[in-house]
Structure 1
Amino acid sequence: MKEYLLGNAAIARGILEAGAGVVTSYPGTPASEIVESLAPVSKEYNLHIEWSVNEKVALEVAIGASWTGVRSATIMKHVGLNVAADPFMTLAYTGVKGGLVVISSDDPFCHSSQNEQDSRRYAQFACIPCLDPADPQEAKDMTVYAFKLSEELELPVLLRPTTRVSHARADVDVGKCKTKKSPTSQEFVKNPARWVALPAHARQRHSVLLDKQNAIKTALKNAPWNQHLLVLKGDTGVIASGISGLYAEEAIERLESDVSILRIGTFPPPDDLCAEFIKHVSKVLIIEELEPVLEEYVERAAREHNPELEILGKNT
């Protein structure tokens, strides 16, 4: 079944399909409509939903729910992640029990914000996975996937929609919304060595986090949002992330150019797919919104797989 949805409403739909029990947020464009879409159906789906006093408190409430086994999401705009940075960074050490998705909506071009920030940098900093949707369909599907990935890895997952994804409208294939137990029916099991971030515990949990990095790459390796189209005639390629990939595809089609394209929707990007792609081209253009996160990754990959590769992007 298809529904015509705003990008943020598609994310809200993904939260319902995933069976989340707690959703917290502090309002801020371009993220506000997610909670506004959920509020009218919160009783129907037994969903605890709240506007918190700030983003830090919003994340901490979601963490508490996750530690009892309840799937939870916390929603904010990019500058709100600055406010939530303290518990966000430590959460990567303690990990989660119920799936926890941090939705941080970036605002390229400062449409309604005091600055531009790239939330992918926070995911890099915390050593957790990040998903970068290109359209409302991917936003919904990635939301559902993010909860599963979070529980598989026992880590929070960052979803990073940008303004033009959050506020686009499109037909979205939707699934069935899940019913769930009351959030209060879950139980917190004490385990100070894991949940209490004292220095002695934190050192051990940091090692656990570092050991999970290969598991993160393996889990994301076959994600359907990483895909390429190789053109045998041309020696030029485009690597793009998020909605930038759709812009690139449209431009290539209009120009009728023999250009290969690799679209990336997950961070860290898949090593094998990127290596295969850059081996087939002599020049590559990197297109992404805000920071050169993808470009820096391609630069590192090229040193091993194609040292002569000409890379065009924000750093050149």
Structure 2
Amino acid sequence: MSKAVLSPPGSIVPLLGNEAIARGAIEAGLDVAAAYPGTPSTEIGETLAEAARELGFHFEWATNEKVASEVAIGAAWSGLRAMCFMKHVGVNVAADALFTLTYAGTTGGLVVVSADDPHAHSSQNEQDNRHYAVAMGLPMLEPSTPQEAKDLVYRAFDLSERYALPFLVRSTTRISHTRAPVRLGEIRERRGKGKFKPPEPDRYVQVGAIARKHHRELLEKLSRIEGELAPELVEIRGGSGELGIITSGVAYTYVLEAARAMGLDVPILKLTMTNPLPAERIGEFLRGLKRVLIVEELDPYLEERVKAIAKDRAPNVEILGKAQGLL
């Protein structure tokens, strides 16, 4: 662990994205963290393991990702702030617990970090876990810099408690393993000891009619999240012309660099929340443009969904991206 991770609030220190993720959790008052090591997520655990000895929260390396997620879930169900994290393929192992978790919800803040690995730098595949967020009903946030990684993890704990849902923070290799200046914030006081008290008797019993009821609740929560968080988690950089760009995560920084190098002044829509997608804001951005380029890593996740949104809100806009072989 870089000793800079525990520097005083207000310090600006060089941190890996993974160290910034750990610091964000610490600032949020982390009580419990669990993980199974796997690059590109490992440094989160290495950082928290050392910080736990100094700060007193609980950290453990688990037998596998499913166990890690269940440790964190149990802590969050007891009112504590908890985080589990894993590389992208680790979500396959944790999926059984996570799919049901979104129906059950949570009491304390619960953040799940997936460290995806485009280009398979240290992995057996290039699995794109944005699809998991949709399938599970997990709200998903994607940072574009180490500073955002820290800030979004911190914020995700508050949002998790606000909506009684776990939040997924999706990093990728070029966030996790980039070192950049990060401004540190205050560290909240930990809660320390939890108490398991379900909000209602059937909350954690996902069978039959109960699961169907909780599924409806989940869909209602996601609808609220889309409407309430869109103004805060969507950024539009002004520009001119009939071409616009939609992007998210580290690809946003690539877009800015390329635009500067090419002298382009085009409207850019940056999506920090990529599930649920803010359809109304995307529709507003599309109107008035003739062509929109979707810039993203791995699968055409955004491209396919923006096309669906455009069909009803801006049918004459041409959506370009991976499907045309442009990226």
Asked whether the two chains share a fold, i.e. TM above 0.5, the reply is: yes
- Counterpart secondary structure, 1:178: coil
Question: Is 1:252 aligned with 2:263?
Answer: no
Q: Percent identical across equivalent pairs?
A: 48
Match of 2:85 in 1: 75
Question: Is 1:26 aligned with 2:36?
Answer: yes
Question: Is 1:205 aligned with 2:202?
Answer: no
Distance 2:231 2:239 in 1: 21
Aligned 8 A contact 1:102 1:156 in 2: yes
Range that drifts further, 239-248 or 205-214: 205-214
- Counterpart secondary structure, 1:50: strand
Code of the aligned partner of 2:281: L
Residues 203 and 305 of structure 1: CA distance in aligned 2, closer, same or farther (over 3 Å): closer
Gaps of 5+ in 2: 1-9
Code of the aligned partner of 1:235: E
Match of 1:285 in 2: 293
Distance 1:41 1:251 in 2: 38
Distance 2:59 2:75 in 1: 12
- Alignment partner of 1:155 out of 165, 180, 197: 165
What is the CA distance between 1:186 and its match in structure 2?
Answer: 1.7
Match of 2:141 in 1: 131
Aligned 8 A contact 1:46 1:179 in 2: no
Aligned 8 A contact 2:80 2:191 in 1: no
The CA RMSD measured in Å over matched residues stands at 1.3
Residue correspondence of structure 1 range 113-128 to structure 2 within 5 A:
113-128=123-138
- Counterpart secondary structure, 1:181: coil
Residue correspondence of structure 1 range 178-193 to structure 2 within 5 A:
178-182=188-192, 185-190=193-198, 191-193=200-202
Range that drifts further, 67-76 or 122-131: 122-131
Aligned 8 A contact 1:45 1:179 in 2: no
- Alignment partner of 1:237 out of 236, 241, 244: 244
What is the CA distance between 1:199 and its match in structure 2?
Answer: 2.2
What is the CA distance between 1:223 and its match in structure 2?
Answer: 2.2
- Counterpart secondary structure, 1:177: coil
Match of 2:232 in 1: 223
Gaps of 5+ in 1: none
Range that drifts further, 186-195 or 163-172: 186-195
Residues 296 and 47 of structure 1: CA distance in aligned 2, closer, same or farther (over 3 Å): same
Code of the aligned partner of 1:204: K
- Counterpart secondary structure, 1:144: helix
- Counterpart secondary structure, 2:74: helix
Code of the aligned partner of 2:268: I
Question: Is 1:49 aligned with 2:59?
Answer: yes
- Which contiguous aligned blocks of 4+ residues in structure 1 show a shift greater than 3 angstroms? none
Question: Is 1:307 aligned with 2:315?
Answer: yes
Distance 1:181 1:147 in 2: 13
- Counterpart secondary structure, 1:42: helix
Distance 2:180 2:228 in 1: 28
What is the CA distance between 1:303 and its match in structure 2?
Answer: 1.1
Code of the aligned partner of 1:205: H
Distance 1:7 1:271 in 2: 29
Match of 2:7 in 1: none
Aligned 8 A contact 2:137 2:222 in 1: yes
Task: Tell me the TM-score normalized by structure 2.
Answer: 0.92
Distance 1:114 1:173 in 2: 34
Code of the aligned partner of 1:57: V
What is the CA distance between 1:57 and its match in structure 2?
Answer: 0.4
Code of the aligned partner of 2:175: V
Distance 1:194 1:297 in 2: 32
Match of 2:5 in 1: none
Aligned residues: 312
Range that drifts further, 92-101 or 40-49: 40-49
Code of the aligned partner of 2:272: G
Code of the aligned partner of 1:245: Y
Code of the aligned partner of 2:229: L
What is the CA distance between 1:127 and its match in structure 2?
Answer: 1.5
Code of the aligned partner of 1:163: T
Distance 1:228 1:84 in 2: 35
Residue correspondence of structure 1 range 4-15 to structure 2 within 5 A:
4-15=14-25
Task: Tell me the TM-score normalized by structure 1.
Answer: 0.96
Code of the aligned partner of 1:223: E
